[in-house]
Structure 1
């Protein structure tokens, strides 16, 4: 009876919707003029979306009926964004679902697909001469004269992401011709230690141009730049002053006699302007045709539209993609109750998905890879990204914002069970695997690894960040943390619980400037509870803030267990209007922090200006276990040590499992810490299987006998979980 009624309605309204269960079908190899049926599918998601709109307008599909778009395996080229608006929304009872028939096999593709046969030997004599002799017979060139439009030139300075396109071979980003090569000594970086002109303003300079920021210069002893064609453009990606801020700047000139490199644009921190970390600065050159000398490197002659590549192995059977789409692959605005499931989004020179004012949108089991910018960016509430795989991204993985901080109304967006790795390929710093802002987001059971800088950055209120596994991040930067937030009294109520943070990079014997959890510059109001830190630098760093409980954490084989300082008492920036990002009280006033709901939720904040605001008070340290910490269990500055009698510190253990006389620190003289084991007296920890990094304490553990109130950390529930 229902079937007859559906067919009759479709005929009467003259729609193209042939399937009465409101199922539509899309196939990559479909013929033109499809009707959305299984036998006559549409050719694109856009056709399916437009058909749904038309059918709803005509009444063939009631607005309260669920719709499922079944997307067949294959490649779906995009030359513009696939957009969904309020008109494309579903309801709680009747969502709209775009689902791959075979998970991962339906690919939205934002690039040009090239063939190995499109590449020929280089025959232009002048170009051959510019190549290294070892590469002349190997480099291949592809003529892109049929590419519509022009390839824009690089700007003189930029943060990581150049103008497009980008080359991918067999699903991996290739390396723009560079020196030193990526696999060279020092990680592919060249160092310098002599600055000629920082580029910072010189107020007393006779030359007026030097009184304001100007391009800096430095001396580089290696003569390698002498082989580069500076006039055709050479860019240097460098950590010019700070190890947490990278920038790409064009070379303006190179003096062969003095070995001076002058940059084309000023760097806002100056060249070697002073930093906490290594004195030597570093850079590598990119987009240098003369350095096209290693498998996987490429170069685009933008004016001649010629693409050069040093072929990697198996090039003759390779899949070659040139990412050119310059807009997000998927855009949603004011969209509700829509699900994207099982899709693969690859090869754009933009973001993969951008959702604004979205509600109840679910992105599930999708693969997001090979984009010049971010993976998934969401602003809205009650959205979920679940069990997705994101990798090879130029900037961040997933960013989420929503809720109302003023009223402390949570957004309840959920970032759950995602595998995020190899991101921040282009912009190397402050492009995390997950970025959280707003109020009331949940970040749970994600696996995040292999990145130059942060894994998770956050700000705002009442976020729950739990059961995530993070490793091999902060791999080329310093003064940074796997989990990072900072410089805000109002970023409160956030809970970092039951995360496993291990095997971080960065730092050296002199500068241990990699942190597991980093509460920077007087950040306040975060709970650090039940986390496991293993080989994680300074495991926990509290940089001058207050109201940060450190409870029931397990710190293993880290050089420094807990750092706490009182920078608010000594730094001139503290709450200083001359430093806009430091205006801590002004930030709080924006939220009327002395009145409800803020005064009720954060009573210490409400009275902070009358309560020694520069002191790092109310940071309880309880039930933490420090195992084989090598340098300092607690790194407290002088002012913190003077305030220790005002702190709540109790029931913390310091364990020497080996009985070693050197390389194992104690917490001698610090209240609330008990040392177990010592020189020649090992104290077995009682982990379930430390060699496999299962640091669950067994029920008969000696540590639990000493500290029976220590609460179980659910190691088996951390990281990726089966998605049922």
Structure 2
């Protein structure tokens, strides 16, 4: 018998060697949930695991396609590609779902449980396995941790938030809150914070760990917050709680759910595929195609790494992680409710592509391109930080090659992102160069659809994307958003102006290549359609349709904005530099401009089309638009989204040129069929007749802060307070207040609007110093008015 077994084993090995050496076998391997890793990997005798297929591909010197047959593959560890898996272009390997079959790659673990009734519709089951409980899926549907307030998809923030979520009164009712979580918006609605509960004291105050998920520390919002993973809050269908102390799972199942036959899956892995090479030894020419990727852990408590001076911190991980990869492709994959980011290209990456994918309900971002801060010259890591001018490295461009470049995300549908984290984007770009973002459809996101965190190092192409229903759970942001807090940028505007004036070579030291945004359609209902914030520079923006929020340029240099259609809104120039070099021309606007603190109007603001004579005259009073016109743009079919203009349109007389307005978003028929279309705006022709009221406060010109633009320009969390517009020399406040200050307190009284300030002013005694509090340069400052 032993002799026969040895003979069979020898024959099997010989057969395997013959198959490995044959040209026909070198092209295909097969994996099946019904396979066996002792099999040779043929179609008739497939392997059982991707890991075994990977080992066999390393022995094959020809191009290989690994066909994965239909079924769900539960990974116990991520499939890790290293230098051992490096392939040439001629010997590339493809891991591909077998045509016509559905392949699911899961980072979860299915549980076999015995359920019994607990109380009020809640079931419980003992868990004998040693598994992590971060998420729970029942028959493929994600359940929610027990939370307060209960989830309601119709509510804007978190699907339900409450001021009393962590009140001492509520906390006292929780026996063991440790292991629970507090989720909250940033106080200014600039993303979110997350905290783990370590315990509580006798007064009902929670001991929290976290709050590092936002790079602009201002504390959690006092209203928009909720708690989860609290046993006492398990009170509605679809919620669950796992008691770690006695390893008992509690679930309030939906009606008619047969738990005895239900598939219960709990995620265990943070990633499913990892490409781990270096610039010296990259992983090349590997393709993942046609699979569904799901059941990865949430990573919000690991979102810690700051992205220079943007508002972001980030977790350098995802369902698919690429670091040190070249010419690798993720194609036609469905990222289904992954717990964190879907795809993350970290540090050195070249010529990688994400194409034809679908990313739905990810806990964080869709596709991220993020380089190494050590590749940045003179980096700063928080808003208020600044490398002293004498110490700034003045050499343009990156210091090393440890960053993504020449990578692409295209023809990809993303929606429902940021289901956990709120400082996210469909596409995030930071410390990268020459990234192409084209023909993607992105909607239902809590913040930006596409975000560029700083100027390093430019060269990006943003084209033919359809981005809408954005900034749904935050504020002061855009469907497309960017910051430009590069090495010359200083948080004090006056200091920064001097630096830029005296050191012009620093302006493009980081954004060494122009960033091009063309032929996109953007819509934002809680901010701007295109928002270039805080020094964003070296942009060329043309042939875009802005459906609702308008276009904003704050600070920055060398932006050319031309041939765009801005519907039901206009141009928002904020806080411009002298000699910015900015150009705004050949655009169609439907409202007057909304300038804030603009004294110098750049290189050219002219040859634009306004909706009416009053709007044009208003601009011309500012010294712009000498050759602009006004009138009906005569769109061909705005009800259907055709914003080309007719031959008789006055827009053509100012240099506007028609461009296609029906080529946005994903291109594949399969993805197009899944898209929820954008809501096109109803054209509003009449302008508001309500004028702006100005007031005098000790000789200073002030007004109520009551617009989103003013909120953004000042950095305020809400539209409240009294905005200072001008402080002439004759004013008592000259040298004390500055334009763009916001008065929030006067004589120890809160100032919400001019009525509050007028009431306080009328009761002041003349021979006294008046304490005031203002908001300036993103910080609250206290000072005194020396009334004489």
Say whether the fold is shared (TM-score over 0.5). Answer: yes
Q: Distance in 2 between the 1:722 and 1:518 partners?
A: 29
Give CA-to-partner distance per residue, 1:472-516, whole Å, 9 cap, x none.
1210101222222211242351111111112x343xxxxxxx222
Aligned to 1:636: 595
Q: Identify the match of residue 531 of structure 1 among 537, 540, 544.
A: 544
Q: Does 1:337 align with 2:285?
A: yes
Aligned to 1:566: 575
Contact 1:543 1:565 in 2 (8 A): yes
CA distance change for structure 1 residues 313 and 705 in 2, over 3 Å: closer, same or farther?
Answer: farther
CA distance change for structure 1 residues 672 and 371 in 2, over 3 Å: closer, same or farther?
Answer: same
Contact 2:194 2:210 in 1 (8 A): no
Q: Identify the match of residue 301 of structure 1 among 219, 243, 246.
A: 243
Q: Distance in 1 between the 2:212 and 2:617 partners?
A: 40
Q: How does 1:102-121 map to 2 (within 5 A)?
A: 102=99, 105-114=102-111, 118-121=114-117
Q: Identify the match of residue 94 of structure 2 among 87, 94, 97.
A: 97
Contact 2:83 2:283 in 1 (8 A): yes
Contact 1:667 1:675 in 2 (8 A): no
For normalisation by structure 1, the TM-score amounts to 0.71
CA distance change for structure 1 residues 701 and 31 in 2, over 3 Å: closer, same or farther?
Answer: farther
Q: Identify the match of residue 443 of structure 1 among 422, 437, 458.
A: 437
Q: Distance in 1 between the 2:210 and 2:363 partners?
A: 24
Q: Distance in 2 between the 1:294 and 1:701 partners?
A: 61
What's the CA shift for 1:79? 0.4
Give CA-to-partner distance per residue, 1:130-168, whole Å, 9 cap, x none.
xxxxxx4222223222x226x4xxxxxxxxxxxx52112
Q: Identify the match of residue 687 of structure 1 among 635, 641, 662.
A: 635
CA distance change for structure 1 residues 444 and 318 in 2, over 3 Å: closer, same or farther?
Answer: farther
Q: Does 1:179 align with 2:176?
A: no
Tell me the C-alpha RMSD between the 2 structures: 3.7
Contact 2:196 2:210 in 1 (8 A): no
Contact 1:80 1:329 in 2 (8 A): no
What's the CA shift for 1:398? 0.8
Give CA-to-partner distance per residue, 1:386-412, whole Å, 9 cap, x none.
101112212211112579943999932
Contact 2:193 2:212 in 1 (8 A): no
Q: Distance in 2 between the 1:250 and 1:353 partners?
A: 26
Aligned to 2:321: 354
Contact 1:345 1:368 in 2 (8 A): yes
Q: Identify the match of residue 267 of structure 2 among 306, 319, 323.
A: 323
CA distance change for structure 1 residues 84 and 185 in 2, over 3 Å: closer, same or farther?
Answer: closer
Q: Aligned with 1:113: secondary structure?
A: strand
What's the CA shift for 1:83? 1.5
Q: Aligned with 1:636: secondary structure?
A: coil
What's the CA shift for 1:328? 4.0
What's the CA shift for 1:382? 1.2
Aligned to 1:672: 625
Aligned to 1:493: 514
Q: Distance in 2 between the 1:322 and 1:139 partners?
A: 19
What's the CA shift for 1:562? 2.1
- State the aligned residue count: 573
Give CA-to-partner distance per residue, 1:50-106, whole Å, 9 cap, x none.
1122xx3xxxx4x3x211111111111100011122222332233211111136711
Contact 2:529 2:548 in 1 (8 A): no
Task: Name which of structure 1's ranges 79-88 and 95-104 shifts more when overlaid on structure 2.
Answer: 95-104
CA distance change for structure 1 residues 11 and 40 in 2, over 3 Å: closer, same or farther?
Answer: closer
Contact 2:480 2:522 in 1 (8 A): no
Q: Distance in 2 between the 1:189 and 1:108 partners?
A: 32
Q: Aligned with 2:246: secondary structure?
A: coil
Q: Identify the match of residue 73 of structure 1 among 59, 70, 75.
A: 70
Q: Identify the match of residue 649 of structure 2 among 698, 702, 714.
A: 702
Task: Name which of structure 1's ranges 300-309 and 406-415 shifts more when overlaid on structure 2.
Answer: 406-415
Give CA-to-partner distance per residue, 1:654-686, whole Å, 9 cap, x none.
226xx9x9x999756342174635xxxxx3x43
Aligned to 1:33: 38
Q: Does 1:228 align with 2:174?
A: yes
Contact 2:558 2:582 in 1 (8 A): yes
CA distance change for structure 1 residues 244 and 418 in 2, over 3 Å: closer, same or farther?
Answer: same
Structure 1: tracts of 5 or more residues without a match: 1-6, 123-135, 152-163, 194-217, 507-513, 568-613, 678-682
For normalisation by structure 2, the TM-score amounts to 0.66
Q: Does 1:515 align with 2:528?
A: yes
CA distance change for structure 1 residues 52 and 557 in 2, over 3 Å: closer, same or farther?
Answer: same
Q: Does 1:625 align with 2:573?
A: no
Contact 2:560 2:582 in 1 (8 A): yes
What's the CA shift for 1:119? 3.6
What's the CA shift for 1:263? 5.3
Contact 1:401 1:439 in 2 (8 A): no
Q: Aligned with 1:264: secondary structure?
A: strand
Q: How does 1:343-492 map to 2 (within 5 A)?
A: 343-349=291-297, 351-378=318-345, 379-401=348-370, 405-406=397-398, 411-435=405-429, 437-458=431-452, 459=454, 460=456, 461-486=458-483, 487-488=485-486, 489=507, 490-491=510-511, 492=513
Aligned to 1:722: 668
Q: Distance in 1 between the 2:211 and 2:292 partners?
A: 38
CA distance change for structure 1 residues 170 and 690 in 2, over 3 Å: closer, same or farther?
Answer: farther
Task: Name which of structure 1's ranges 382-391 and 106-115 shifts more when overlaid on structure 2.
Answer: 106-115
Q: Aligned with 1:348: secondary structure?
A: coil
Q: Identify the match of residue 312 of structure 1 among 254, 269, 282.
A: 254
CA distance change for structure 1 residues 68 and 664 in 2, over 3 Å: closer, same or farther?
Answer: same
Task: Name which of structure 1's ranges 488-497 and 667-676 shifts more when overlaid on structure 2.
Answer: 667-676
Contact 2:465 2:664 in 1 (8 A): yes
Task: Name which of structure 1's ranges 72-81 and 372-381 shifts more when overlaid on structure 2.
Answer: 372-381
Contact 1:250 1:265 in 2 (8 A): yes
Q: Distance in 2 between the 1:392 and 1:219 partners?
A: 27
CA distance change for structure 1 residues 653 and 285 in 2, over 3 Å: closer, same or farther?
Answer: same
Aligned to 1:239: 185
Q: Aligned with 1:315: secondary structure?
A: coil
Give CA-to-partner distance per residue, 1:185-221, whole Å, 9 cap, x none.
664444549xxxxxxxxxxxxxxxxxxxxxxxx9959
Q: Identify the match of residue 548 of structure 1 among 559, 562, 585.
A: 559
Contact 2:166 2:227 in 1 (8 A): no
Q: Aligned with 2:84: secondary structure?
A: helix
What's the CA shift for 1:246? 1.6
Aligned to 2:781: none
CA distance change for structure 1 residues 90 and 265 in 2, over 3 Å: closer, same or farther?
Answer: closer
Q: Distance in 2 between the 1:688 and 1:615 partners?
A: 39
Q: Aligned with 1:501: secondary structure?
A: strand
CA distance change for structure 1 residues 293 and 17 in 2, over 3 Å: closer, same or farther?
Answer: farther
CA distance change for structure 1 residues 103 and 451 in 2, over 3 Å: closer, same or farther?
Answer: farther
Q: Distance in 1 between the 2:255 and 2:568 partners?
A: 40
CA distance change for structure 1 residues 447 and 273 in 2, over 3 Å: closer, same or farther?
Answer: closer
What's the CA shift for 1:37? 0.9
Q: Aligned with 2:600: secondary structure?
A: helix
Give CA-to-partner distance per residue, 1:547-600, whole Å, 9 cap, x none.
111111111124xx2222227xxxxxxxxxxxxxxxxxxxxxxxxxxxxxxxxx
CA distance change for structure 1 residues 267 and 423 in 2, over 3 Å: closer, same or farther?
Answer: closer
Structure 2: tracts of 5 or more residues without a match: 1-10, 299-317, 376-396, 487-506, 671-788
What's the CA shift for 1:358? 0.9
CA distance change for structure 1 residues 138 and 382 in 2, over 3 Å: closer, same or farther?
Answer: same
